Structure 1
């Protein structure tokens, strides 16, 4: 199995387990900058040099040796499950992607046909009932997670606990799990614990939100998208995420965590 979704600086100053939709573009660029003194020109997910990634075959033995020996500081970043799934819907389902096409080709037509979802027309710019469509998408997301039908779960809305756990199960240990909602504070706590070739001033770092502008703007407050049934589906999919990463299930309008992450609890529960 190895360490899918794991990135490491070439200097091996730090190891990061990517969790999609949790500031991963910005984190990757900060890691790249800390080694090279410049940002990667383009989406960091497209880089094939300058940053070790598990998806690059040459990087695998280096990442594996480092993680198993816990030779470097290791971290990841998580996000409120309510805002994460909403963001996935607007970016991946309603939005036009970087390549000018719909995400995953036939996915959106399938959702329109099987679940009655609207996405704002061909270009995603027409008006549609965002709340009704999102709730139908949530039903689809649950079906993929529960029964792996009509397709396998997608990494952008599959549970964070699943992403975080592969690192632990295969022999890794996190030194830090911080919150997207407290990004500067959390990322600074990582930088304070590592030696970097180039100093990183977080206040001066742009936000590399690669999904920004892909889809229509969210028109309503977060809590308006989640009625009782939606909350039930969210709990079914993300129960572990709420429990382990300390987010407020009862109030979708509160995006902030209720307390810090208990690393020992995360390693115990996800390492089984």
Structure 2
């Protein structure tokens, strides 16, 4: 751990804002809670009426980021606000990010497929005769590269969807009230709402059995074609997340 300098505080607060809103948006998009969101056209009465692109457009949706406040206001919020985030098994999280950004790829986020994927393919694809889109092994070689931040520089900003939780949410520098786990979200979500004093305002419906549980079979399938060297390099980058949040080391992939 280290003390926050003025410069570090601004940087870490930006990361906290990203992390906090990521969790908030997870609740929003998944329709787990009912909130009102204002647009130029007025107030939406139902989550079903909210266009998905609007949720991710911070300039239009009216939801402020922590980084939009002055430094004294940021400090006040860090000290007094209820703060939480949800973690997930690091390797399962990467599988989810790959599927969401490069396979499903929402229409309002075309840059993942049209800008980021080609850049990764150009640098990390081994079989140059392969003409398919970004493959999981390309993605893993990129993530495990100690110099992976070259892509952040190329794009012009950090790509948050596969940054480590240590980098993204600064858990050693910011005192969170609760850190929940995706694998126990059925229990953690109602607990978080209760501790935040919101359980009388919003509710978290039952989750179908097995939806949030760790799926070792899926992890094995995705990593079956990845070499041990690439897996170990990837693990070295995300080892802090495994240790800090109590996840078992993926020995079945490493050995």
Task: Give TM-score, length-normalised by structure 1.
Answer: 0.63
Q: Is the aligned partner of 1:80 residue 2:81?
A: no
Per-residue deviation, 1:193? 1.0
* Partner residue, 1:244: 244
* Partner residue, 1:113: 122
Per-residue deviation, 1:82? 0.7
Contact 2:14/2:66 (<8 A) preserved: yes
In 2: Cα distance, 1:91 partner to 1:183 partner: 20
Q: SS of 1:196's equivalent?
A: coil
Q: Which runs of 5+ in 2 are unaligned?
A: 1-8, 38-44, 208-216
1:66 to 77, 98, 112: 77
* Partner residue, 2:140: 138
Q: Is the aligned partner of 1:54 residue 2:66?
A: yes
In 1: Cα distance, 2:71 partner to 2:230 partner: 40
Per-residue deviation, 1:198? 6.1
Q: Count the aligned residue pairs.
A: 213
Backbone CA RMSD of aligned residues? 3.7
In 1: Cα distance, 2:16 partner to 2:151 partner: 28
In 2: Cα distance, 1:24 partner to 1:233 partner: 31
Per-residue deviation, 1:252? 6.4
Per-residue deviation, 1:151? 4.3
In 2: Cα distance, 1:247 partner to 1:159 partner: 14
Per-residue deviation, 1:134? 1.3
